[in-house]
Amino acid sequence: MNRVVVREDDSHPFTLGDKTLTEDMLLVQVDVGLDEAFVINIESTPKKPIRLPYQALLDAINAGHLGVVDMDWDDEVTRAFDQLTKSEQAKAQSRYALIAPLISDLEAVIRNKHGDAVFQKVIAASGRSKQYVYNCFYGYLFYGQRRWALALPIGKYIFHKAKASRDIKVKQGRPNELVARGKIVVEYDIKAFTWALKKYQSRNGPSLDRVFLEMLGKFYFASRTRAATGVVNANSSRFHVELKPRTERPTIAQFTYWVKKQCGGSLPKRDQKRRNPIEHSKDLAGRTGDAFGTDDGFGKTFELDETPFDEEAVSQFDETRQTKIGKPTFYFVVDRFSRYITGLYITTEAPSFKTVRQAVFNAAINKEKFLEEYGFEPGEVKWEYHGVPTTLFVDNAEFRNRKSEAAVSDLAMKVQFSRRGRGDDKPHVEQLFRVFSLWFKGLSKGQQTKSLADIAAQLARKHASLNLTELYIIAIIYINYHNNHRRLKNYQYCKEMLIDDVPPIPAKLCEWGQRYRPGHTLKYDERDLYRALLPVAEVSVHQRGIYFAEVGLWYNCEYVLESGLQDKRVSRNRVVKLRARYNENLVDVIFLETDDGLKPATLDVRCQAFQGLSCYEATLQRKSMARDDELAKDEEMEFALGVSQAMQRLLKVAQKEKQPGVMPSTATLKDNRKLEAILNRYADINKFLAAVQLDQVQIEPIELPDKPNSTNIYDEFEEDDA
């Protein structure tokens, strides 16, 4: 609304119906059918809009007592959202959100009566004062119903004008006691301060005093000259700097005050950016004290982590234990609620979803067969609790890919990622690696120490003697101790656990959690579990077969062929995409996800050379073959060039020897072709006689007449031209 009802004689009030107008009024809403117009005052603090009879208002305007003019809004009122400062944007959005329920039905609000309690509902829901809600609503109407104008003053301060900034011509503050120093801080000084603050906040940056000194040399020099070449040496500067007078450069106090003001006035906040932000958050930042408060039962959250173990290992295929394999990678899966170790996996492969899924599989299965594989008798090791957790807490790496989509969805398991560089997100499994490693310290010579001399001499690798099977056995023995006998220090009990007198032993905590807070884990058949954990890839269905682009191999599937998915499509650029499960260690078969379940697809005969290989080996083989093809292309191109040159040479000779002649008829052309066939006949007869060794047979050539076209001598070669 931009129209204002004005009094032609502003020295006297004007009465219209039962309302007396003492100031100019801004139109809020007009309803001709109901003969009413709502207006709000604009010369004093805005109040509730008043209702005027519309026809009487028109009569007063036509009679010249009142007038209607456009409102000349200030530029601040008509600003767009992007023209506001951040604080003004936040203020406008907050005020508008408060009165949004009122604006959505503006007509009903301006007609409301005291008993309707329209404003009271908003006041109760927002928790703001009654006056503030009224001020926001009336301010919205006062500014012509402009949303972003709510950033301006409202209520009794609506006509408030900010004081004009002072024109400061002298340095503020108490005069210096001894010598006059400092200057008025202007825009150039702010630029210099910003440069110095950035340098100060850099990681391992210089001190505040040192930064201030560098700032003076860069921004506040009266002259800067280069020293003579013969004078410059390693211990002197190339330049000689003469600073400006003391009253033309800021003081260290002015710079320090500005830095504190920029950084909240607190030394820790000011110095926080000088450190690595991740390390600060992990090691130095304050804690809220409510970590893991929601993990109230076994299986609510499992923590999974991997680390290269400090113990050097040897190959289990070498009886002499001389084949070194370096440090194996350990995977532990730990329940956050009870600290119970549910899974273990040891490998020499690089971390990937391939290794992580093995650790998850081991954590979710019954451990009886697993323990038997390493020579443990039934009941010798108690490892009872297992299952798929509600949430799996992992590093921000192995599960953040498309391969793990099926495992997450099929197992109804939520995957949560730790923050980069934040080992404290998984403190229990991180601490477990350190505790387990301490058992080897002082006992095994294959344990890697922190000594730089030992590392340089590779003493741990030299004395390595344990293989992966023996490391598995040691880890299982430790897990049996940890789960069933180790008492946890400073365990965070809940009140009910104290009442039940639960000992702080992981297995006992699991037992209590399973009894009173069950339902956080799911149990699966091992075969179903393994299939669900298989990685997922996308394959494309073509007329010639199924192409697995990730490995570059072709497959065949009877189900896909019978369903018609392989039939050639009208648009050649569009192919059917399917999801497939596969095992990274064998390319012979993949399983396609269809509406009828998983369907096997076997390796195509064109790719039979890759049978029995892993995906990694097949990829390497294909790259090797492609590399050999590229190397052979140069030689092939040389021979191809020779063929092309020979053709050009023969064509050139033939063109030179060619004589111009008459274009023959079709019949003549056929007779000429038959004549050429005689040469092929006698060449074949010679080959036949040589094969059967009939030297006594003599074939006399037929004497041709002078005019071969005059007699029919080609009857024996006549073709059926009918």
Q: How far apart are CA 629 and CA 191, in angstroms?
A: 61
Contacts of 359 (CB under 8 A, 6+ apart): 304, 306, 331, 332, 333, 343, 344, 345
Residue range 303-312: mean pLDDT, rounded: 87
Q: How many other CB atoms are found less than 10 A from the CB of residue 463?
A: 12
Q: Which long-range contacts (CB under 8 A, 24 or more apart) does 558-563 make?
A: 559/592, 559/594, 559/596, 559/599, 560/592, 560/594, 560/599, 560/601
Structure tokens that stand for 590 in this block: 């993949």
pLDDT tens digits along 651-710:
999 998 988 888 889 998 888 888 888 888 888 888 888 888 765 555 565 555 555 555
Q: Which 8-state DSSP code applies to residue 113?
A: -
> SS in 3 state form for 602-628?
EECHHHHHHCCCCHHHHHHHHHHHHHH
Q: Quote the strand ranges of 350-503, DSSP E.
A: 391-394, 414-417
Average pLDDT over residues 454-472: 87
User: What percent of the chain is predicted at pLDDT more than 90?
Assistant: 21
Average pLDDT, stretch 97-112?
Answer: 85
Residue 165 has pLDDT above 80, yes or no: no
CA 330 to chain centre: 27
One-letter amino acid identity for 416?
Answer: Q
Which one, of 564, 536, 560, lies nearest residue 546 by Cα?
560
Yes or no: say if 582 and 537 are a contact pair by the CB < 8 Å rule.
yes
Residue range 20-57, pLDDT digits in tens: 888 888 888 888 888 888 888 888 888 888 888 888 88
- Are 479 and 344 contacting, i.e. CB atoms less than 8 angstroms apart? yes
- What topology does CATH give the domain 301-516? Nucleotidyltransferase; domain 5 (3.30.420)
Question: Which run of H or of E encompasses 303?
Answer: strand 301-308
Based on DSSP, count helices (H) and strands (E) in the chain, helices before strands: 23, 22
Percent of residues in the chain assigned helix, strand, coil, to nearest 5: 40, 15, 40
Q: Is the pLDDT of residue 722 over 50?
A: no
Share of the chain above pLDDT 70, in %: 84
pLDDT at 570 over 70: no
Chain segment 571-624, per-residue pLDDT in tens? 665 788 898 989 888 999 999 988 888 899 999 999 999 999 999 899 999 999
pLDDT tens-digit series, residues 479-527: 999 999 999 888 888 888 889 999 999 999 999 999 998 888 888 888 8
Taking alpha carbons only, the member of 701, 704, 670, 669 closest to residue 683 is 701
Q: Which helix (H) or strand (E) holds 371?
A: helix 368-373
Amino acid code (one letter) for 669: L
Q: Give the mean pLDDT of 454-480.
A: 89
CA distance 427 to 158: 55
**346 has a pLDDT exceeding 80:** yes
pTM to 2 decimals?
A: 0.54
For the stretch 183-240, pLDDT in tens is: 888 899 999 999 998 888 776 677 888 889 889 988 998 887 876 665 555 555 667 7
Q: Burial level of 294, CB count in 10 A (0-12/13-18/19+)?
A: exposed
Two structure tokens written together for 482: 């940890």
CB 440 within 8 A of CB 451: no
